[in-house]
């Protein structure tokens, strides 16, 4: 019957043995495999393995040197940080010293100015006193002279110069004594 598909016949017919083959197939497989193994070992696996190992070593080396570089950088950084801290401390000290110096100088200047002012004041006071005394003396002299003249006129008698001088001197001495 032509409708009957051949594939439905799953019963193993003669020659359909799934274990078909002989020891020759096994020998062929062994020989071929060993040839492939030997050829590849010589021409492929060696170079591939060396390539992979070289790369691994390179990566390992690079990692190690990177780590070393990082450590170096770290220690350098620490150095710089220490130096920076020292410099900052130094700067702080310099500023502090300057401040103290400035305060000292300012105080000195202030003292100096103060003493100059005091001197000037004293000098002025002395000059004023001197001027006052001189003015008073002149005033007394003038007043005495005028008083004598007035007195002379009152007495209608002309005092001579020597008398007049004697009276003035006497009055002055008396004034000064009173004044003191």
Partner 1 sequence: MNMNLLLNLASPMGHVIDKPIYDQWYVSNATVMLVLSAIVTMLLIIPAARKIATGKSGTLEDLRAKGTLANLVEVICLYLRDEIFKPLLKEDTDKYIGILWTFFWFILINNLLGLVPIADILAMLKINPMGDHYVGIGGTATQSIWVTSALAIISFIFMNGTAMKKDFVGFFKHLTAGAPVFMWPIMVPVEIIGTFVKPFALSLRLFANMTGGHIIVATLLGFVVSLSIGFGGAVGHGLAIFPLLGTMAIYLLEVLVSFIQAFIFTYLTGLFLSQLIVHDHDHDHDHGHDEAGHAPSH
Residue number with CB closer to partner 1 (19 or 179): 19
The least CB distance from residue 60 to partner 1, in Å, is 12
Nearer to partner 1, 49 or 106 (CB): 49
Minimum CB separation from partner 1 for residue 71, in Å?
24
Q: Which is nearer to partner 1, 53 or 118 (CB)?
A: 53
For the chain, the distance separating the N- and C-terminal CA atoms, rounded to the nearest angstrom, is 175
Compute the distance between CA of residue 174 and CA of residue 179 in angstroms, rounded to an integer: 8
Nearer residue to partner 1 within complex by CB, 39 or 166:
39
* DSSP 8-state symbol, 8: G
User: Considering the complex, what minimum distance in angstroms separates the CB of residue 35 from partner 1?
Assistant: 7
Contact residues for partner 1, defined by CB under 8 A = 2-3, 5-13, 15-30, 32-37, 39-41, 43-55, 58
Residue 67 CB, nearest distance to partner 1 (Å)?
Answer: 19
Nearest approach, Cβ of 65 to partner 1 (angstroms)? Answer: 14
Q: Specify the residue, 36 or 151, whose C-beta has the smaller distance to partner 1.
A: 36
CB contact set of 140 (below 8 Å; sequence gap of 6+): 171, 172, 175, 176
Q: Give, in degrees to the nearest 5, the angle at Cα 32 between 29 and 37.
A: 120
Strands (E), 107-151: none
> CA-CA distance, 35 to 29, in Å (whole number)?
10
Please give the backbone phi and psi of residue 103, each rounded to the nearest 5 degrees, phi first.
-65, -40
């Amino acid at each position: 019957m032509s409708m009957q598909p051949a594939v439905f016949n799953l019963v193993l017919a003669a020659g359909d043995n799934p274990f078909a083959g002989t020891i020759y197939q096994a020998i062929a497989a062994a020989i071929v495999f060993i040839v492939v193994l030997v050829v590849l070992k010589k021409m492929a696996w060696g170079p591939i393995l060396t390539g992979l190992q070289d790369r691994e070593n390179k990566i390992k080396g690079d990692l190690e040197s990177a780590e070393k570089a990082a450590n170096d950088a770290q220690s350098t950084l620490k150095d710089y940080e220490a130096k920076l801290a020292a410099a900052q401390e130094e700067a702080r000290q310099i500023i502090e010293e300057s401040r103290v110096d400035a305060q000292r100088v300012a105080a000195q200047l202030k003292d100096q100015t103060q003493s100059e002012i005091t001197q000037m004041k004293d000098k002025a006071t002395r000059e004023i006193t001197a001027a006052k005394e001189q003015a008073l003396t002149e005033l007394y002299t003038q007043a005495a002279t005028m008083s004598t003249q007035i007195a002379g006129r009152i007495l209608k008698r002309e005092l001579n110069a020597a008398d007049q001088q004697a009276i003035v001197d006497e009055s002055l001495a008396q004034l000064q004594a009173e004044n003191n």
